[in-house]
Amino acid sequence: MRRYYLHTRNGVFYAEILTSTGVKRSARSTGARSRDKATNIVEKWLINGLPALRKRKPKPASIEADHHTILKAIKRAVLDQDGAMAIVCALRDRGLIDFCVTKAWPRREKLIPFLLSFWDLSDSPYLRDKKAHGRSITVTYCRAAIKKIQRYWRPRFGDGKEISEVTRSDIREFALSIKESGLSCSSVNNIMVVGTTAMKWAHNEGIIPYDPSAGLGTFTGDKVSRDILTEEETEALFRGKWADKRAYAAALLSLTTGLRSGEVRALRQNDIGEGTLSVAHSWNDDEGLKCPKNGEKRVVPLLPEVRSLLLGLLQETPHKETANPFIFYSPCAEKPCPSIIFLRYFRLACRSLLIDLESRKLDFHSFRHCFSTRMAERIEGNKVAKITGHKSEAAAKVYQGHITARILSEMGSETASEFRSILQYQRIEPEPPKEQIMKIIPKSKNLH
C-alpha cells in the first residue's frame, strides 16, 4: 500500500503522507532537492514520527516596497481635496510631519492678520454669528483681545507664519514661555484663549485641517480671591468723610444693593422708585448703555437713606434740564462719571484708615461681594441671587425667576437691619422736601 506522495515546489520536494484511511495529510517540505534524498527523509519520518512544525518567522516588511506601493497607488488614484488631506493627516498622526496642508486647501492665511480679523467686531464672521445667537460679546473684550495679540502673539509668531503651519508644539512652548515670564495662571490662560478660540473655529470652518491647540490644558494655581472689608472696617469707612459725594453714594449703594460699578453708573432719574430701584442697564465706556451682565433686568430694594443720597445728587447735577439725567453725573450730559472716580476715592478713604488694599485685593467690586456674603447669612441664597443678578448655567432658572413683592420686602427689611449701624453715619444732606421730590420723580412714574 502506498504510504506517501512526493512532488516539487520551486525545486524542493514536498511529501504528502497518507493516514491509515488513505487521506492525504498537509504537504511537508523535506528540504531536499533530489528525489532519493527526499525519499530517505520521508522513510525516517514514517519510522520516527513527523518532526514538530517550526513557527515561521515573520518576514521583515520591506519599507522600500511599501513606499513604492503607496506612491504607485497615489499616482494612479483620483484624489480630491479630502482624500489628499486624509493622506497628509495620516502622516502627521504618525509623527512624520509637523503640519499638514496642501496647495489644494482653500485658504492659506497668515496667523496674526487672521487673529486680528477674528476679534474685529466689524469684520468677524465668528462674532457676527455669536451676536446673532444672542451671545454677549463686548467691544471692551474684543479690544483687549487685540491688545493681547499685538503684545504677545505677534512677537512670538511674526507676520509671516501661516495659521496652518502652527503646530501643537508651537502652542505648548508659547504658553510655557508666557508662564515662565512671571504672569499669573489666569493671565496666561486669558492670553492663550484669544488664539486657541480662533484656531478651534478655523478648524471647524475648514480653514485649517486640524486644531493644534486641541487637548492642551489650561494653567491652574493659587487664585487670589477678592477680599471683603470686615464689619468694623466698613463702619469706619462710612463714618469718615469722603472727598466726593458721588463716590460715597455709589459705595453705599453697592454695599446695600449689590450693584456692580457699571450698573451704578448707568442709573438715571427714572430708575428711582418709592422703595425700589430699577436696574435695567449697565454702562460701558466703549458701548455706552447696555443690558446688565447676563442680560437680566431686575428690581432691587432701595433703603430710604440711600434713596435720599441719590435724590440729593439729582439736585446737584449740572444737567437738570436733560430728560432722565444720569444720577452719577459728569460734565457731559450724555455720559455718567467715570468709574475711576469711585475707585480713586474708595482708595483714599481706605488709606486714611490704613487699610491694606494691595495684598487683600480690595476694590470697589468688594462692596458687591460684601453685600452678597452678609445677606446670605440672613436669608436663602437664591433670594440674594435674584437681587444681585448672580447667574450660573446650572441655576439660571432658580436664581433669575420673577422677583416677588414679598422677596423685595423681606430683602429690604433684612438689608436695613444688617447695615443699620452704617446708615446712621451717612453724611449727605437729608432727603429733600416732598414737593422737590415730586419735581424730580413724577408721581405717575410706574417702575413696575
Whether 399 shows a pLDDT value over 50: the answer reads no
Give me the amino acid identity at 124.
S
| Residue 394 pLDDT | 40
- Report the chain's mean pLDDT, rounded to a whole number: 80
User: Of all helices (H) and strands (E), which one includes residue 375?
Assistant: helix 366-376
Residue with more model confidence, 445 or 216: 216
Span 268-284, mean pLDDT? Answer: 90
| Residue 329 pLDDT | 94
Span 399-415, mean pLDDT? Answer: 59
Give me the amino acid identity at 11.
G
Whether 383 shows a pLDDT value over 70: the answer reads no
- Kindly report which listed range (15-29, 143-157, 311-325, 390-404) carries the lowest average pLDDT score: 390-404
pLDDT category at 105 given cuts 50, 70, 90 is: very low
User: Of all helices (H) and strands (E), which one includes residue 301?
Assistant: strand 298-301
User: Of all helices (H) and strands (E), which one includes residue 277?
Assistant: strand 276-279
At residue 289, φ and ψ (nearest 5 deg) are -70, 130
Whether 306 shows a pLDDT value over 70: the answer reads yes
| Residue 406 pLDDT | 60
Span 280-303, mean pLDDT? Answer: 84
Whether 348 shows a pLDDT value over 60: the answer reads yes
| Residue 247 pLDDT | 94
pLDDT tens sequence across 239-254: 888 889 999 999 999 9
The set of residues, in sequence order, having a beta carbon less than 8 Å from that of 390 and lying 6+ positions away, is 372, 384, 399
Whether 387 shows a pLDDT value over 90: the answer reads no
Report the distance separating Cα 259 and Cα 254, nearest Å: 5
Q: Identify whether the C-beta of residue 365 lies closer than 8 Å to the C-beta of residue 226.
A: yes
Percent of the residues in the chain that have a pLDDT greater than 70, as a whole number: 79
pLDDT tens sequence across 150-196: 999 999 999 888 888 888 889 999 999 998 888 888 889 999 999 99
Residue with more model confidence, 373 or 256: 256
DSSP category for residue 283 = E
| Entry pTM | 0.58
Whether 386 shows a pLDDT value over 90: the answer reads no
* 124 CB-side CA count, 13 A: 24
| Residue 99 pLDDT | 56
pLDDT tens sequence across 41-81: 988 888 888 887 776 666 555 555 577 788 888 888 887 76
Whether 113 shows a pLDDT value over 60: the answer reads yes
Report the distance separating Cα 273 and Cα 447, nearest Å: 6
pLDDT category at 265 given cuts 50, 70, 90 is: very high
Whether 223 shows a pLDDT value over 80: the answer reads no
Residue with more model confidence, 352 or 53: 352
